[in-house]
Amino acid sequence: MDAAVATRPLDWLADFPAIPEGWAYLDSAATAQKPVPVIEAITRAYGVSYATVHRGVYQRSAEMTLAFEASRRRAAEFINAAAPEEIVFVRGATEGINLVAQSWGKANLKPGDRILLSTLEHHSNIVPWQMTGAEIDVVPLTDDHRIDLDAMAAMIRPEHKLVALAHVSNVLGSVLDAKRAADIAHSVGAKLLLDGCQAVPRMPVDVRDLDCDFYVFSGHKLYGPTGIGVLWARHEILDAMPPWQGGGAMIDKVTFARTTYAPPPARFEAGTPHVVGVLGLHAAIDYVEGIGLDAIAAHEAALVNEARDALRGINSVRLFGPEDSAGIVSFAVEGVHPHDIGTILDESQVAIRAGHHCAQPLMDALGVDATARASFGVYNGRRDIAALVRGIERVTRIFG
């Protein structure tokens, strides 16, 4: 590992007060820790400048509305959306996918239509599509645990109206060739939705360059608050979609006889929004771009390489995912349940995820009930890999 890469995260670690000295937090794929600028933005919003948005005529409400909409512009810039109006604030990626399924799906899916998913999808990119009633086909994985786009090209047909894929797998860390996936989807007139939860914290994302039609991500995996996320879609697609929830803020005019709806994105943001979460998301975007997403990607790639090499040296460890996985290393220890691995590591102050990671179909495909998963963030360094390896060695001693 380059020496500069090894030492730089020590400065970043100081930004994260919830990580005490000696604790190796390796569960960023589940949720990332929060840096001081994000915490301060949330505290300031609640403690100094709090007010509702889009409603009050008093100065503080007007100022908060300006800050709220500035955050929308910031999110649009972050993923290179064509306009801020293409950004819909949601509670997270799960809500964003459900919004598309219930709104776009309700308006566009007819009997006989099909949806194409992949074996490695998170449950939140499976269940909402099942709830539409459309038939689902599943793209298999390659031998090195990537979505098999050759198989996808062979499978897709005009009955497929939507393809929904993870940009980066939350279990395997495998990165999708999203531009090729878009070409395949569009070849039959299908729309492409990308689940970007694991992509936006660790690599630059340009939705126009990717040529996708929908993109979703959650703030809390991006070092931001929980309860806030983004759905992006092309303006012409959003404009044709009906609202999926009714209430305040999403209307043009209401009478007991008839209601007309506001244009996007307001049409999809019923009720009082998570104002403080939106401002916290703005701070999180500023934070990661202040470091540089290319720098984050290089940092995590170095950590993944070192972790895989170290774990490969333990005979009873089985690794999953490709060698160039993005910030995530999933593994199993022969004869030891991942929950036991997680418990023993916790005793050594190493926090990992153990379980099916909301990806039970993938576990079936891998032939396991669960895996252990170490996932990295900007605050991690070699010391954390060393702690992980010591913990795994202790696991093997305990279980023989």
Residues serving a catalytic function are 358
Provide the token pair at 105. Answer: 């799906």
In sequence order, the 6+-apart residues with CB closer than 8 A to the CB of 267 are: 238, 241, 243, 250, 261
Contact present, 156 and 163 (Cβ < 8 Å):
yes
To 10 degrees, what angle do helices 275-291 and 36-47 make? 150
How far CA 245 is from CA of 90, 206, 242, 251, in Å, comes to 12, 29, 9, 11
Query: Strands 350-351 and 135-139: what pairing?
Result: unpaired
Q: Give which of 119, 134, 116 is closest to 181, Cα–Cα.
A: 116
**Tally of CB atoms within 10 A around 248:** 12
CA–CA gap between residue 177 and residue 199 (Å, rounded): 12
**DSSP 8-state code for residue 243:** P
Phi and psi dihedrals of 107, rounded to 5?
Answer: -80, -25
CA–CA gap between residue 255 and residue 164 (Å, rounded): 38
Query: Got the DSSP string for 310-322?
Result: HHHTSTTEEEES-
**Tally of CB atoms within 10 A around 89:** 24
Contact present, 162 and 190 (Cβ < 8 Å):
yes
